[in-house]
């Protein structure tokens, strides 16, 4: 069996990322099948457990100190159970290599479920600077949050900064109380007008720490592509978040104004 070159391995991860995120085109699907065949990986097994294959490939390219040892071992074992030496022995990796943004997005499919995600390459840039750079984009929108539920009537709770073209944004919170991450976490949702708005797009869980009134910046990226954001909402959920919210824990809401 042939090993994959670094560029082929990167392309394989990119295509697996697209499939895991539901954006793989017909032509790219054919290319993915060809790469899997070249790597000696069974296409049916790869389709049944894409996240395990992604984790195995990512781990092959990550330094040993990049995640807790117990989590690394657990994910490694899962990938090996599915793909054995097809991944370990036939796909060359460069330990300690850098992660491209799409690798982080793909790994999130599996790793976010257990509450761990390696930071993206721009994580070294201070959050304040990253936020300022996004606000400088002409198509970025800034929307104020209204407090609802337990935060009803609280003024200046914060705002959301969102760029639909880049599919990324920030929460800038000012009057949101801290939470106990072991019991509850805040979770961001995006209501997409191009989707069934009964089921908003999950944009991740986050924690707030520190004194009330202290500005808190939270970066986010939606787990699925958002075509037309109609509103942004923050709920309080159990630790780790939920797949579908019942909205009973709604604390922040930012509707997107419509023309006219």
Domain boundary residue, one of 87, 122, 157: 122
Mind listing the pLDDT tens digit for each residue in 71-82? Answer: 455 445 544 454
Maximum separation of any 2 CA atoms in the chain, in Å: 65
Mind listing the pLDDT tens digit for each residue in 116-173? Answer: 333 444 545 678 888 999 999 999 999 999 999 999 988 889 999 999 999 999 999 9
- Please answer whether residues 233 and 160 qualify as being in contact, where contact means their C-beta atoms are separated by less than 8 angstroms: no
Question: Cα-flanking dihedrals φ and ψ of residue 188, to 5°?
Answer: -95, 140
Pick out the chain residues at pLDDT < 50. Answer: 1, 63-68, 70-71, 74-75, 78-80, 82-83, 85-121, 123
Task: List the one residue out of 1, 16, 2, 5 whose CA is nearest residue 92.
Answer: 5
Domain boundary residue, one of 89, 122, 155: 122
- Please answer whether residues 49 and 12 qualify as being in contact, where contact means their C-beta atoms are separated by less than 8 angstroms: no
Do 14 and 54 lie in a common domain?
yes
Domain coverage including residue 29: 6-122
Structure tokens at 137: 């984009």
Domain boundary residue, one of 122, 144, 161: 122
Residue 179: inside a domain, yes or no?
Answer: yes
């Amino acid at each position: 069996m042939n090993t994959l070159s670094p560029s082929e391995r990167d392309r394989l991860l990119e295509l697996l990322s697209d499939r895991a995120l539901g954006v793989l085109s017909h032509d790219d699907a054919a290319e993915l099948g060809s790469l899997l065949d070249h790597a000696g990986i069974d296409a049916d097994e790869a389709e049944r457990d894409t996240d395990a294959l992604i984790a195995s490939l990512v781990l092959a390219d990550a330094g040993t100190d990049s995640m807790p040892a117990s989590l690394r071992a657990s994910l490694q074992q899962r990938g090996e159970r599915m793909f054995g030496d097809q991944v370990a022995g036939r796909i060359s990796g460069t330990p300690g290599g850098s992660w491209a943004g799409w690798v982080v997005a793909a790994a999130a499919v599996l790793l976010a479920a257990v509450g761990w995600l390696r930071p993206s390459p721009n994580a070294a840039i201070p959050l304040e600077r990253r936020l300022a750079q996004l606000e400088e984009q002409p198509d970025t929108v800034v929307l104020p949050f209204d407090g609802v539920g337990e935060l009803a009537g609280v003024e200046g709770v914060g705002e959301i900064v969102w760029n639909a073209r880049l599919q990324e944004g920030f929460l800038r919170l000012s009057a949101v109380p801290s939470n106990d991450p072991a019991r509850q976490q805040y979770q961001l949702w995006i209501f997409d007008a191009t989707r069934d708005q009964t089921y908003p797009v999950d944009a991740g869980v986050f924690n707030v720490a520190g004194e009330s009134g202290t500005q808190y910046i939270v970066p986010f990226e939606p787990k699925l592509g958002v075509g037309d954001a109609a509103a942004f909402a923050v709920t309080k959920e159990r630790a780790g978040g939920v797949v579908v919210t019942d909205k009973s824990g709604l604390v922040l809401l930012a509707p997107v104004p419509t023309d006219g």
